[in-house]
Structure 1
Amino acid sequence: MNLYKIGKALCSIILFPMYRINIVGKKNIPAEGPVIICSNHISNLDPPVVGITSSRNIYFLAKEELFKNPVIGGILKKVHAFPIKRGMRDRNALRKGLDILKDGHALGLFPEGTRQKNGEIGKGLAGAGFFALRSEASIVPCAIIGPYQKFKKLKVVYGEPIDMTEYREQKASAQVVTDRIMEEIRQLHKIHQ
C-alpha cells in the first residue's frame, strides 16, 4: 500500500468524525481523464479534506516553503504534492502541473493562493485559468463551507464541471477564466450554506 492511500485512510478516520464532513456532488468529479478541482481556501486542512472527499487521487500544488523541511517535504512528495514559488511565475511548477493533466490525473488547486481566514471567498490568481486553458481537463469547482470546529458540520460541495469550450476557442485570458471559476465556487457556497 502506498503512502497516499495510507494518508488518505488515516485522514479519513480522523477528519470525518471530527468535522462531521458532509459531501455533496461527488458524482460531478469525472471518474477518469484529466480534471482540475478548484476549491476555496479557508484552512491548512483544506488539502487533506479535498483529498479524502474526492473520488480521485489528487496532485496538489503546495507553497515551496513547506518543502524546505526535509521531513515534511519528503512526506508531501509521497502524497502527490509538488512545490510552487509564490508571488512569481514558476515555470517548473506550471510544466509539472500540465504534465500531470496530460497523463490523465487530477490536479487540486486553491486559486486564491492563500487562506481566507474570515471564511469569505477572495479573488483568484490567474494560475487556475492558465491550467484550464492549456489543458483538456474538466474543471470542477469545489466549495468548502466551514468553519472548522470540532464536532460541527463541515460541508464539501463539488459542482458540475464548467464548460471551457468557449473560453478555449476565444483564447480568453487566464484571469478571465479564473474569475469564472471563482464565481462558480461563490455560487456553490451561497446555495449550500
Structure 2
Amino acid sequence: MYKLGRGAVKTLLTPFYRFEVIGHENIPKEGGVLICSNHISNFDPPVVGITAAPRQVHFMAKAELFKVPVLGPLVRSFGTFPVKRGMSDREALRVALKILKDGKILGLFPEGTRSVNGELGKGLSGAGFFALRSNAAVVPCAIIGPYKAFSRLKVVYGKPINMEELREQKASADVVTEVIMMEIKNLIEKNK
C-alpha cells in the first residue's frame, strides 16, 4: 500500500512543484534513521516520504486524524501512527522507538507544528529524546519553499549528525534537539 500511495502522491504533486532533492545520498540505505525536518506545510510529510524513497518513512500524526472516517484508515495504511498532542503519549513514544530499533525510518518535525510564518521555530525535546534513546542515524532535512504552484521546492538532506560525542557527554534531550535544529537552520541558510 505504501509504494502505491507514494506513487500516487508523487504523480499528484510533481506537476505542481518542481522538486529539487539535494543530499539524498546522506540517507543511510539500511538501519534506523531519524529524519528531522522543518515544518512549513501539511504537504511536508508526503514530500519527505517521496523524496526519501525507496525506503518507507513512518510519521507521527495528531490522533484526531485517525478518527476521520476515510482519512484515518488511509493514513494508518501509509505507516503513520497517532500521537496525542499536548501530553506525554507513552504509546506513541514506544512505537517510534520500536520503528528506529527495527532499522526503519522515522520522520519527525521537531517544531511539533507547522510554522505560521515559514521561519524555523524552536524544537521540542522529543527529537533529542529519540536521537539519544536509539542508535539511529540522525539526518537533518530542510524543506525550502514556498509551496506555490509551478515553483521550485527544495528538499535538502544533510549528513548524519555525529551523535557519539553527545551520547558520551550524556547531553540532555533539549541540548541534542538544539544541535539538530542548528543543523536544519544551516541547511536552510546554505540552500535558499
Within 5 Å, give how 1:164-179 maps onto structure 2. 164-179=163-178
Computed over aligned residues only, the root mean square deviation of the Cα atoms, in angstroms, reads 0.8
CA distance in 1, matches of 2:161, 2:12: 32
Alignment counterpart, residue 44 of structure 1, candidates 35, 42, 48: 42
The equivalent residue for 2:185 is 186
After TM superposition, give the deviation of residue 16 of structure 1 in Å: 2.0
Q: Which runs of 4+ in 1 moved over 2 A?
A: none
TM-score normalised per structure 2: 0.97
CA distance in 2, matches of 1:175, 1:45: 27
Q: Report Cα offsets for 1:135-162 as digits up to 9, x if no partner.
A: 0000000000001000010100000000
CA distance in 2, matches of 1:146, 1:185: 14
- Comparing 38-47 with 5-14, greater Cα deviation is found at 5-14
After TM superposition, give the deviation of residue 117 of structure 1 in Å: 2.7
After TM superposition, give the deviation of residue 17 of structure 1 in Å: 2.5
Gap runs ≥5 in structure 2:
none
Q: Report Cα offsets for 1:152-189 as digits up to 9, x if no partner.
A: 10100000000100111222111111111011000000
For 2:132, what is the secondary structure of its paired residue?
A: helix
- Name the aligned partner's letter for residue 131 of structure 1: F
- Name the aligned partner's letter for residue 184 of structure 1: E
TM-score normalised per structure 1: 0.97
Within 5 Å, give how 1:105-116 maps onto structure 2. 105-116=104-115
Provide the aligned length of Structure 1 versus Structure 2. 191
- Name the aligned partner's letter for residue 85 of structure 2: R
